[in-house]
Structure 1
Amino acid sequence: MLLSVSKHVDGHFSIARIARDHQVILTHGNGPQVGLLALMNDHYKEVAPYPLDSLGAQTQGMIGYLFEQELRNQMPGQKVCVMYTQTLVDSDDPAFPDPDKFVSLVYAREQADSLLNEYPDWFIKADGKHFRCVVASPKPQAILELASLKHLVSADDITVICGGCGGVPVKRTGDGLLKDVEAVIDKERSSSLLAEKLNADAFLILTDVDAVATQFGHPDSRNIRTATPEGLNQFDFASGSMGLKIEAAVDFVRRTGKMAAIGSLSRCSEILCSDSGTIIRPGSDGQVTYY
């Protein structure tokens, strides 16, 4: 199964419980980390700033290392491997002129205004009650290390950490060579593609909420227990956060006919047994059940 982790504070305990009995492919994000590195990078004026693809590669190694170390501590004797990955994108993707991917820490309005004054080329958008920096997030076309990943996964006894931060974005030039792209890839979109191509039997998106809410933060909101892709169409989810998770999960279900789920990292064992989270299964009707 493939686990896409959004919030990974102390998450290794929950992941290890599953990985002891199932083969796990683990992906993760890097929004706060890459945003902080970009800020630190910009303050060092003696050299040109590192581009986002390089910062993405840096955070892939950093976060992957932390996951690997903690999982080895939790699962002595079991095999854990981190693989750096690149994600191919289309240089004409419409995301480039309209960036919307959050990559930084959260700021109050006054802090956001101050940053825009200092860095006029940046883009900052509202994220709930706060503000965060945004960059372009083109859709993933292919995972370049897929063949190597299939070889690793075929061993059946290796927990693989890959696709970190959505993969480092690259494009093909006219002569077929790879070139860096100033962007980040949405980890749920790339994880959905990876889960499909690796023939995962389930795709779990793990975050800090117990389940998908119909109207998050509203008093009439209800947590969804099960739904078909068609059933989820009746709701309007926030485009920058839960909406992307729903899109990725639904795409996986429609393309593979298998289960996807969204829920709390701390309860991933229960999600796997359909006792927690929002479970999305194939179906052409609009069925939705609630907790």
Structure 2
Amino acid sequence: MDTGANGILVVAVGGNALAADPTTSTMADQLAAVQDAARHLVELESRGWRVVVTHGNGPQIGALLRQNELAAETVPPMTLDFCGAATQGSIGYLLETALNNELRRRGRDTVAVSVVTQVEVDRGDPAFQRPSKPIGAFMSEHEAEHARSQLGWDVVEDSGRGYRRVVASPEPTAIVQRGVVRSLLDAGYLVIAAGGGGVPMVRGADGELAGVEAVIDKDLASAVLASDIGADILLILTSVPQVALGFGTPDQRWLPTLDATTALTHLEAGEFPEGSMGPKVASAVQFTRAGGRRAVVTDLDSAEAALEGRAGTEFVR
């Protein structure tokens, strides 16, 4: 296996890039999206990088939760941490298959392998007291009241479109399987890890880990993973080619570079929304400040050019 001459590259792929809406997308649609992503990812590997792929799971976990709701009278619902692990496994399977097929087509002897990853969070994280991450399907007011009273869910109105469940989204502190991921990389594998931000775990006084019902932002988890395994570059893929100021307005301005201090100033001013670009900017800043060589935000089609400095937004200290 090729051990990768350029260094370690962590690539964070958004869940929407794999399936915009799994409730309407067929498996064939999802497989086609994953195959497209695989072509770009294998191109990066073929250029001499040791690649770790992380991925989102927002659309997929939403679909699984909806399945839980519809089947609740027949099959006991799964807890949120279990759903996170399940989507890690299913998306990992799709990515693993697509990557290995693409590697074979190109005559590469690298093998892709998926690791269901646990991520430590702090039991005392304030996020547990202020659930804010919307998940699952929209509900009517009647359904929302039932969810509050009978299921114990935290439910909020979402932009006048209905009601949604909200859960805690604590900060990731460490990747439990970081040593495994690094060992697999060193052995020449292309690794898929920390899917959906990983399964959130808290450590008890006895040192044992237990899953908690929460979700971790996958970009923040990717930054922690990248630092934990000594990655050189964190490449965050999204739906736009660069980070922008005034996004979607007549004054929109694309940013080819962004230093950490300026990025945080814009972030605190609300320039980068919490539900979209905000965590990506925060993750890029976190990784570069922790000693990472480069962090870049761009779209899937620009991934190769971004690594060559010809596309995307590059974050500098």
The TM-score normalised by the length of structure 2 is 0.81
Does 2:225 match 1:194? Answer: yes
- What's the counterpart of residue 79 of structure 2? 51
State whether structure 2 residue 115 is matched by structure 1 residue 88. no
Q: CA deviation at 1:174?
A: 2.5
- Segment of structure 1 superposing worse, 261-270 or 234-243: 234-243
Amino acid at match of 1:174: A
Alignment match, 1:2: 10
Q: 1:85 to 1:256 in 2, by over 3 A?
A: same
Q: Taking structure 1 as reference, are residues 128 and 18 closer, same or farther at Cα in structure 2, changes over 3 Å only? A: farther
1:101 touches 1:136 (CA, 8 Å); kept in 2?
A: yes
The structure in which a higher percent of residues are helix is 2
Instruction: Give the distance between the partners of 2:40 and 2:217, measured in 1 at CA.
Output: 23
Aligned residue among 81, 102, 107 for 1:74: 102
Deviation string, structure 1 residues 137-192 (Cα, Å, up to 9, x no partner) = 1111111111111211112x311001111111111122222212011111111110
Query: What secondary structure does 2:65 align onto?
Result: helix
User: Which amino acid is the alignment partner of residue 12 of structure 2?
Assistant: S
How many residues were matched structurally? 277
Which has the higher mean CA deviation after the structures are superposed, 25-34 or 11-20? 11-20
> Residues 234-245 of structure 1: matches in 2 within 5 Å?
234-235=265-266, 236-245=271-280
**In structure 1, how many angstroms separate the alpha carbons of the residues matched to 2:96 and 2:142?**
38
* SS across alignment from 2:234: strand
Q: 1:122 to 1:42 in 2, by over 3 A?
A: farther
- Alignment-derived partner of residue 64 in structure 1: 92
Please list every run of 5 or more consecutive structure 2 residues that lacks an aligned counterpart in the other structure: 1-8, 19-32
User: Helix, strand or coil: the match of 1:64?
Assistant: helix
Q: In the alignment, which residue of structure 1 is the partner of 2:246? A: 215
Q: 1:126 to 1:260 in 2, by over 3 A?
A: farther
- 1:46 deviates by 3.5
Equivalent pair of 1:169/1:185 in contact (CA under 8 Å): yes
Partner of 2:296: 261
For residues 107-141 of structure 1, give each alpha carbon's deviation from its aligned partner in whole angstroms, at most 9, with x where no partner exists: 5xxx5546524523243464798976432111111
Q: For 1:186 and 1:239, locate their aligned partners in 2 and report how far apart those are by CA, in whole Å.
A: 11
Assess, with a 3 A threshold, how the Cα gap between structure 1 residues 268 and 102 changes in structure 2: closer, same or farther.
Answer: farther
Deviation at 1:278, TM superposition (A): 0.7
SS in 2 for 1:223: strand
Contact 1:64–1:164, Cα closer than 8 Å, also in 2: yes
- Over residues 175-232 of structure 1, what are the superposed CA-to-partner deviations in whole Å (9 max), with x where a residue is unaligned? 2222120111111111101101111110011011111111121110111111111122
Q: Which residue of 2 aligns with 1:28?
A: 55
